[in-house]
Amino acid sequence: MSDETLSGRARVEADAASRGLKVRIVKRQEAGSLHEAARLLGLPPSGIVKTLVVKRHGGDYLFALVPGGRKISWPKLRALVEVNKLSMPDAAVARDATGYERGTITPLGSSTPWPVYADESIVGAEIAMGSGEHGYSAFVDADSLLSAFGAVVADITDPE
């Protein structure tokens, strides 16, 4: 679901509502590190989840949900997606693919509903993720989010 006439936060809230998903968007301070951001948000570092846009060889994309302190394991993700090549697009391409700037990206309200792949370590947690706008975080129950998107949940990361 996307209506690019709405602000990023409004798109997130509208998409969440259409999926019956409870999302709490909070204003946040800038942080100099993952640990500082986690402290400010009252979460463990793993509770901050990056939504990364990943380009498939065929030209379409997927979302990878990666918890703080971890990075995509390219061999694991390629095996799961059953492709030989995946890559991270530059910021402009990611914005074109989602309607969001880097640092604000979320599957909620994306201009295109790409498939969601999530690291299994976020299961059972409340997480903070991009809210569609800089300066805000969206808090959501990971299990509800994963269910709402029919996400593929697997071990797709390695420690940073």
Give 93's pLDDT tier (boundaries 50, 70, 90): very high
Give 9's pLDDT tier (boundaries 50, 70, 90): very high
Burial of residue 32 (number of CB atoms within 10 Å: 0-12, 13-18, 19+): exposed
Over the stretch 53-86, which tens digit does the pLDDT of each residue have?
999 988 899 999 999 999 999 999 999 999 999 9
Judge contact between 69 and 160, C-beta under 8 A. yes
23/109 Cα distance (integer angstroms): 12
pLDDT at 150: 98
Give 4's pLDDT tier (boundaries 50, 70, 90): low
pLDDT at 74: 98
Tell me: pLDDT of 159 over 60.
yes
Domains of the chain and any CATH numbers: 8-159 (3.90.960.10)
137/25 Cα distance (integer angstroms): 6
Sign of the alpha-carbon torsion through 101, 106, 110, 115: positive
Long-range contacts, stretch 31-34, CB < 8 angstroms, 24+ apart: 34/68, 34/69
Provide the CB-side half-sphere exposure for 143 (13 A, CA).
3
